[in-house]
Amino acid sequence: MAVEFDYQARTEGLTIEELLREKWQLGKKMVHELRMASAVTGTDGEPIGWTQGLKAGDVLRLRIAEPASSYAPDHGSLTIAYQDEHCLVVHKPAGMAVHPNEPGGTGTLMNQVMAESLAAGRSYAEHVHRLDQGTSGLVLIARHPVAKAVFDRMLEKKEIRRVYFAETDKRFQKPRGRIDAPIGRDRHHATRRRVSPSGQPAVTHYEVLREENGRSLVRLELGTGRTHQIRVHMAFTGHPIVGDALYGGRRADGGGYRLHAGQMAFVHPFTGEELVIDDPQEPVWLEEWTRGD
């Protein structure tokens, strides 16, 4: 299968070579494959020289191979916060894994995304990032290989802003701040992480939104994307997430822990639109804070 999309140049003098290699930062192999397949043309299908400067407003047509993703389709109640021909942003419920851990596995978010994609006549869908199984919220999905490569690069360069909300124990001494503490594996526990001088750099920004009854509602933004980062940093500062038993949080009514990826923002790499996407499906505990219950 193949997927087609149009791209309107927004920079005067940019060449196709510069667009693919420098602006989108596609890998050498992918750029070579696109060139060999004559995958970039004008809207009339006529070839365009790869070193020819484009005019702002010129429209290119890309036709690229669409490999089949390996996830088995699994129909469910998928909540879509945003979608276009390049990507999906979908809600992941707490307790659901983003993807299977073994071939043929089902019951995950990507199985549901695959069912939606196949129903729309698409064979490709790949997640750009992950959330811990117990965390609810937004996950970005690429709808074709070029989008996957571009969004991967944007994530690496911190051009995709991800905002979380958490309920934590105790009052904070400062209403906002920056947690800069490296994170590594805990050699005493197979899945737990810990702050460690030899760990990878990790930065989390926080802002206390409300405090009451010895607990706090905190807005958090990732400066890096380490495994369990927010959970580790909150526990390290003495404010473990409510319900997060792995990191010392007290039990939450209803089970689970209270961390939600509620917002995502980025400049769309193919349209130039500035997107701010909110999760339309907030967890009950967050709604209670919003209502002031």
167 and 123, same structural domain?
A: no
How confident is the prediction along the chain (293 residues), in pLDDT tens digits per residue?
A: 788 999 998 888 889 999 999 999 999 999 999 999 999 999 888 888 888 899 989 999 999 988 999 999 998 889 999 999 999 999 999 999 999 988 889 999 999 999 999 999 999 999 999 999 999 999 999 999 999 999 999 999 999 999 999 999 988 999 999 999 999 999 989 899 999 999 999 999 999 999 998 899 999 999 998 999 999 999 999 999 999 999 999 998 888 999 999 999 999 999 999 999 999 999 999 998 877 55
CA–CA separation, 103 and 95 (whole Å) = 20
Residue 102 lies in a domain: yes
Residue 104 lies in a domain: yes
Count of domains for the chain: 3
Residue 293 lies in a domain: no
240 and 172, same structural domain?
A: yes
Q: What pLDDT is attached to residue 245?
A: 95
CATH of the domain at 227: 3.30.2350.10
168 and 152, same structural domain?
A: no
Q: What pLDDT is attached to residue 292?
A: 59
CA–CA separation, 24 and 212 (whole Å) = 46
**Residue written as token pair 């937004």:** 138
111 and 54, same structural domain?
A: no
Residue 38 lies in a domain: yes
| Domain C-terminal end among 157, 186, 204 | 157
Residue 187 lies in a domain: yes
237 and 212, same structural domain?
A: yes
Residue 289 lies in a domain: no
177 and 150, same structural domain?
A: no
Catalytic site positions: 132
Q: What pLDDT is attached to residue 65?
A: 87
The answer to whether 260 and 279 have CB atoms below 8 angstroms apart is yes
| Domain C-terminal end among 126, 157, 188 | 157
18 and 100, same structural domain?
A: no
CATH of the domain at 49: 3.10.290
143 and 178, same structural domain?
A: no
Q: What pLDDT is attached to residue 103?
A: 84
141 and 107, same structural domain?
A: yes
Three-state SS at 6: strand
56 and 85, same structural domain?
A: no
Q: Which domain holds residue 124?
A: 79-157
Residue 283 lies in a domain: no
110 and 150, same structural domain?
A: yes
Evaluate the CA torsion angle 85, 86, 91, 95 in order and state its sign: positive
29 and 10, same structural domain?
A: yes
Residue 227 lies in a domain: yes
